[in-house]
Amino acid sequence: MTEDERIAALFAAPERVPDEAFVARIGRAVLAEQRMAGARRALWRRFAIESVASGAIMAAFYLLWRMSPELTLEQMPIAPTAAAVLVLFLWLGVELRPAAIGK
């Protein structure tokens, strides 16, 4: 055995068996990240839907207000209480829609 071969043998990494616990831990981390990415996408999609629905409700109230600018809110054909109930029902419909389809 030459001097170079002996030095190479001294500095060579020992043979190790694969670390199964580490591999399993990394696999679980990858799976958790994939699930979180799916949850993030669903959250952003739901946020967009609720934002559009809220914008539609605000636009409807703005159009009702602009129908007759000289009328105050109390003089409008729709009472403020009825309008508030309408907003609550619309919000409830938007909020419960994903629950109805099992998401």
Residue 40 has pLDDT above 80, yes or no: yes
Let me know: does 94 contact 50? Beta carbons within 8 Å: yes
Higher pLDDT, 14 or 39: 39
Instruction: Give the domain ranges of the chain.
Output: 13-100
Give the model confidence (pLDDT) of 57-88 as tens digits: 778 777 776 776 666 666 666 666 677 777 77
Residue 103 has pLDDT above 60, yes or no: no
* DSSP helix/strand/coil, 45: helix
For tokens 């190479």, what's the residue?
8
Higher pLDDT, 7 or 69: 7
With b meaning 16 or more CB within 10 Å and e meaning fewer, what string describes 8-47? eeeeeeeeeeeeeeeeeeeeeeeeeeeeeeeeeeeeeeee
pLDDT value of position 7: 86
For tokens 């990240």, what's the residue?
33
Give the model confidence (pLDDT) of 12-29 as tens digits: 877 878 889 999 999 999
